[in-house]
Chains A and B, each alone.
Chain A
Amino acid sequence: SQQGEEDPQALSIQEGENATMNCSYKTSINNLQWYRQNSGRGLVHLILIRSNEREKHSGRLRVTLDTSKKSSSLLITASRAADTASYFCATAPSNTGKLIFGQGTTLQVKP
C-alpha cells in the first residue's frame, strides 16, 4: 500500500512560474526523498531531507519537512518546459531499508 498522498495529482503551469507539490505520510520516518520520472522511465533522485531537517535547497528546488504534520513540500522555482515530468515523494520509514512512494504529481510546464 502507498505510504501517503501527494497533492495535487496534476499541475499545469506556464514556464517561469513556480510549482509546489505536497506530500503527506503516515509513519515515522528516517528521511524523505523526492524523485522525478520522465515518461514512465527510471526515477531520478532530486533531494533527500532527513527527519531532523526542516528545509533543504538544491538549485531551483526547495524542500520542506514538517514531521509534526507528517508532510513535505517540493517547490520548483522559475519552472522550465524540461521540468515536465512526474514527481514522487518517497519515505524511508524508521528501521526499514525500503522506500514507500506516494502516487505522484504530474507536472506540465507549458512553454
Chain B
Amino acid sequence: DAGVTQSPTHLIKTRGQQVTLRCSPKSGHDTVSWYQQALGQGPQFIFQYYEEEERQRGNFPDRFSGHQFPNYSSELNVNALLLGDSALYLCASSPGQAIILNTEAFFGQGTRLTVV
C-alpha cells in the first residue's frame, strides 16, 4: 500500500517564476493538506482540500493556490516566487472531511524548493 507520494523531490526556481508541486494521498484518504516548513522551523499549515474544494486556509497570501482532482490527488501552485518561499513543502493526507482532525495525518517525503 503506497503511502503519500510527492513530486518532484527537489526543485530550483528563479524569483518571479511559478511552480507546481504534486501530491498523491495514501490509498483510502480523500483529504489533502499542504504545509510549508522553513529551515529550522516546524511545518506551517497552508490549506486543506476535500471534495475538490479548499476547505481551510492558513495565513498564506493568494500567491499560494491549490487544486484537488477527482482521484483525490492535489497540486500546490505558487506564483511570483520570492526568495522566502524556499522551504520544504509537505503534503499530508487523512481520511474523511477533516473539519476536526481526529486521526493521524500521513505525510509525504516533501518537495525541497529552492528559489534563487
A: residues with CB less than 8 A from B are 1-2, 30-31, 33, 35, 40-45, 48, 88, 90, 92, 94-104
Contacts and interface: CB of A to CB of B under 8 A. Distances in A.
9 contacts: A33-B105, A45-B104, A45-B107, A88-B43, A95-B99, A97-B98, A98-B101, A101-B35, A101-B44
Interface of B: 4, 31, 33, 35, 37, 39, 41-45, 48, 55-56, 58-59, 88, 90, 92, 94, 97-110, 112
B104 A2 contact: no
Contacts of A43: 43, 90, 92, 107
Nearest to A88: B42
Nearest to A31: B102
B100 A101 contact: no
B109 A41 contact: yes
B101 A95 contact: no
A14 B71 CA distance: 47
A48 B48 contact: no
Nearest to A89: B42
Contact of A2 (B4, B42, B48, B102): B42
For the complex of A and B, the 7 pairs showing the least CB-CB separation, nearest first, are: A97-B98, A101-B42, A42-B109, A92-B101, A43-B107, A98-B45, A45-B104
Given A1-B59, A94-B100, A97-B55, A42 B45 contact: no
A33 B104 contact: yes
A95 B41 contact: no
B100 A95 contact: yes
A87 to B, nearest CB: 10
A101 B58 CA distance: 13
Nearest to A40: B88
Given A2-B42, A43-B90, A102-B42, A96 B59 contact: no
